[in-house]
Chain A
Amino acid sequence: MNDARPLALESAVHTQGLTKRYGEVLAVDGLDLQIPAGRFFGLLGPNGSGKTTTIHMLSTLVRPSAGRAAVAGHDVERDAVPVRASIGLVFQDSALDRTLTVAQNLRFAGLLYNLAPALIEQRGRELLELFGLNDKRDRPVGSLSGGMRRALDIVRGVIHHPRILFLDEPTIGLDLPNRRKIWRFIERLRASTGMTVLLTTHYLEEADTCDEVAFINSGKIVQRGTPRELVDRLGRHIVEIEARDLDPLVQSLAPRLGRELRDGDMAMFRYPEENVAPIAALQTELVGRVSAFRIRRPNLNDVFLWVNAAR
């Protein structure tokens, strides 16, 4: 904590041994994280893994118990105000006044960042256009749909053009079409501003477009890399077998397929080779003994499952 060396300035986010303890519980456990400026970074993990606590420490809302963190080159403990000036934060729960209109909310948020009213008006129009909300300017926020409110919350979070945007589960509680929409907005926003984005989510398929992801569990990073690297490291294929009596089947397959991962009546195996001919042969061999047999490409969900199974 008293280490005098400055944390790297070119990093958008840099933490060393960042720790948060709530009584007996270690919410975040010695996190070392370095996110270069301009990156789209995903912090992934199950509920209660320490993602939100990490975001709250990085945004100066929660004091670290130990370790340190710099955001946009400012220490989160000593220079909380400059940190807050350079970040945008979209919470899991909306940070909007439901009684005010869309435009009034943006005006309120913009004034809090000391923006001139004319600038707020101009940026508000640009951003609402990007998010397809311009015709809702004078509607009270309480009357918007969940998806629109979430989009507006993101507009609110970037009205001051932050260098770094923290998105804490930005699509939680939304249906699939609205989740897709939010993702398109975030992509457009990144394309038009180049801002660093730190995202937390437990919908892993949403992290596919991240430049880099880190899996966090019990407050520790358990795996990190580009989504492609992590998926490739897992294997070329995933073999899924469903059967009523799995145990003898899994035992007989272990010499050929290695360790399995169970999920109810289903067993999953990793297969490292591109050539699936041997597996296809296996399928014919198992006819009648299994109720389903699938070969598919692995994805981040699989990485997540195997990472957690290895622990």
Chain B
Amino acid sequence: MIARPIYAVLEREVVRMFRQRTRLVSAMVRPLIWLFVIGAGFGAVLGQARGIDYQQFLVPGVLGMTVLFGSMLAALTMVYDKESGVMRMLIIAPFAHHWIIVAKTLAAALAGIVQAVLLLIVLALLGFLSRQMHYALLFAGVLVTALACAGIGILVAAFTRTLDNFAAIMNFVIFPVFFLSGALYPIDNLPVALKVAAMLNPFTYAVDLLKHAMLTASAASASELRVGIDFLACVGFTVLAVVLASWRFSREQAYEPLIHILTGKRG
């Protein structure tokens, strides 16, 4: 019963993603800039991080970044949907409203996965991928990373009225999530407060998982946590985020600003 509506939301996400090609291209270019510019620059200063070349260390991080931006921004478009006609179509459709959150989270995760696959192709062509990767673990890792990133986005979207203040979301959500994750540097070198913040960040576990999958030869030193814990943290956070966002979304309707956002007036 609910499969088709969810499919509809996923299909719309993919159609929209390939329509906005510049967004897709920039999603490919952004990680490469990090890899070539930051990677080369800091690589020259640092030499090696945890026994491996810094640029190699950065590869799982930029893959994670692509998923983070891809999934999170896609989930954040729910705020835009609230202001446009799409949410009207969704709220009058015959299913419980928490399915809107579930469908949107899955669609956002799919957006991140598609971008991750495209980036992996680019990275492979540029010779950045090791032949000894754990392919199954990489697949599963990208999947749960995308879900967790979509979860962060949907949580922010559920508590946000408009995207007018996108800069604030960038400063207070996207940047901290990215910088405090181990994507750019090992977290156990961080001061205690930041390390605690990193341990509370679901993206930390996602990036760690990608390191496990991609840096096989030196995984023992590059990744800092156990695979099982990484999985549990990502999946657990996603479930929590969906439940919280659904609760918030239905509460918003109980108090009715949603319908007023939709119609702009009481008639």
A residues in contact (CB < 8 Å) with B: 22, 27, 47-53, 55-56, 59, 61-63, 81-82, 84-85, 87, 89, 91-100, 104, 107-109, 111-115, 156, 168-169, 200
Contact = CB atoms under 8 A, between A and B. Distances in A.
A111 to B, nearest CB: 3
Contacts of B267: 47-53, 55, 92, 168-169, 200
A91 B263 contact: yes
Interface in B46-84: 84
Contacts of A156: 89
Interface-central residue, B1, B4, B86, B266, by most chain A CB under 10 Å: B266
Interface residues of B, number: 32
B262 A93 contact: yes
B257 to A, nearest CB: 11
B91 interface: yes
A100 B12 CA distance: 8
Contacts of B8: 107-108, 111-112
16 contacts: A48-B266, A53-B267, A55-B267, A56-B263, A63-B256, A84-B92, A85-B94, A92-B267, A97-B85, A111-B5, A111-B7, A111-B8, A111-B11, A112-B8, A113-B94, A114-B1
Interface-central residue, A59, A87, A97, A168, by most chain B CB under 10 Å: A97
Contacts of A100: 12, 15-16
A114 B92 contact: no
Contacts of A27: 266
Nearest to A104: B15
Interface of B: 1, 4-5, 7-8, 11-12, 15-16, 19, 84-86, 88-96, 253-254, 256, 259, 262-267
B19 A112 contact: no
A91 B94 contact: no
Contacts of B266: 22, 27, 48, 52-53
Interface-central residue, A82, A109, A113, by most chain B CB under 10 Å: A113
Contact of B95 (A48, A55, A81, A87): A81
A112 B93 contact: yes
Contacts of B254: 63
Given A96-B85, A98-B85, A112 B16 contact: no
A95 to B, nearest CB: 4
B90 A112 contact: yes
B89 A95 contact: yes
Contacts of B95: 81
A111 B13 CA distance: 14
Contacts of A168: 267
A303 to B, nearest CB: 20
A108 B265 contact: no
